[in-house]
Amino acid sequence: MNKSILVTLIALSVSTLMTAPMVSAKIDSITNTELNVKAQPSIALQVSAIELRSKLNKYQQFSANFHQQVIDNKGREIQQATGLMKMRQPNQFNWVTNEPDESVVVSDGDSVWIYNPFVEQVTALSLNSTMAQSPLWLIANQSDEAWSSFNVEKVSDKSQSYIVIPKDPKNITRQITMTFNKNAIDNLVIEDSQGQISTFTFTQFDYLTPIDNTNFTFELPVDVDFDDQREVK
């Protein structure tokens, strides 16, 4: 798997949102019931974060085709890729890159599996040690814990774009911008700490069709090099 895609997906190694005074529960269109949020004084929810969380909460699952463009810190395009992603809450996803290099990243909810057919190698990582540091985690996780590590800013009052910034200044993801078009995620723009920008544009976004459980399990292929980096329990 190309290193830049792997870093982008998994923790950019595969972080997302917030802090500020508690927001009044009287926001008409967004209620605690809708968000499944338990009132906790230690977690402050900004209005923009509540809005984003409400939007993402619609997607108990979804699938979409994607096109990725990677720009380096000097504005030069260094890569393009295409593929298909599938997601289901909580913490399950299947990300297949078709071109230029075939690769598969699968989360079964506990482990993240990275398969590179070209080099015949599989790497297994602990979900908690990878996705917990990626803003992408928020798309597949509605827990307060997941959302407590990030700040959220809305680009403008009328905008459908939200900027997610890790609280930890050492995070290798500088920020991620999520843009919506009606009921779909239109694109994600991820900027890392080195200034590299990866833009994912989605098409055929579908959050209504059920996704089979087999998409979120990984069977280890025969005769591959297996690198198990999961935490020892």
SS (H, E, C) the chain: CCHHHHHHHHCCCCCCCCCCCCCCCCCCCCCHHHHCCCCCCCCCCCHHHHHHHHHHHCCCEEEEEEEEEEECCCCCEEEEEEEEEEEECCCEEEEEEEECCCEEEEEECCEEEEEECCCCEEEEEEHHHHHHHCHHHHHHCCCHHHHCCEEEEECCCCCCEEEEEECCCCCCEEEEEEEEECCEEEEEEEEECCCCEEEEEEEEEECCCCCCHHHHCCCCCCCCEEEECCCCC
**What is the distance of C-alpha 178 from the center of its chain?**
10
pLDDT at 141: 78
- What is the structure's pLDDT at 103? 92
pLDDT of residue 167: 87
Q: What average pLDDT does this structure show over 86-113?
A: 90
Residue 14 confidence (pLDDT): 39
Rounded distance between C-alpha atoms, residue 202 and residue 146, angstroms: 24
Mean pLDDT score across all residues of the chain = 79
Check residue 204 and give its pLDDT.
Answer: 97
Rounded CA separation 15/168 (Å): 9
pLDDT at 132: 59
* Ordered structural domains, the chain, with CATH: 3-228 (2.50.20.10)
> Are the beta carbons of 88 and 216 closer than 8 angstroms?
yes
The pLDDT assigned to 18 comes to 25
CA 192/CA 18 separation, integer angstroms: 19
pLDDT of residue 147: 83
Question: pLDDT band at 7, cuts 50/70/90?
Answer: very low
List, for residues 131-159, the tens digit of each pLDDT value.
656 666 778 777 787 788 888 999 887 88
For residue range 157-199, list pLDDT tens digits in order. 788 999 999 888 888 889 999 999 988 999 999 999 899 999 9
Cα(122)–Cα(99) distance, integer angstroms: 19
- The pLDDT assigned to 133 comes to 61
Q: Are strands 111-116 and 121-126 parallel, antiparallel or unpaired?
A: antiparallel
Give the pLDDT confidence of 36-80 residue by residue, as tens digits.
Answer: 444 443 333 478 888 998 999 889 999 999 999 999 999 999 999
Q: What pLDDT, in 10s, does the model give residues 205-221?
A: 999 999 999 999 999 99
The sheet carrying 184-192 orders its strands as 150-154, 161-166, 173-181, 184-192, 197-206, 61-71, 77-88, 92-99, 103-108, 111-116, 121-126, 225-228
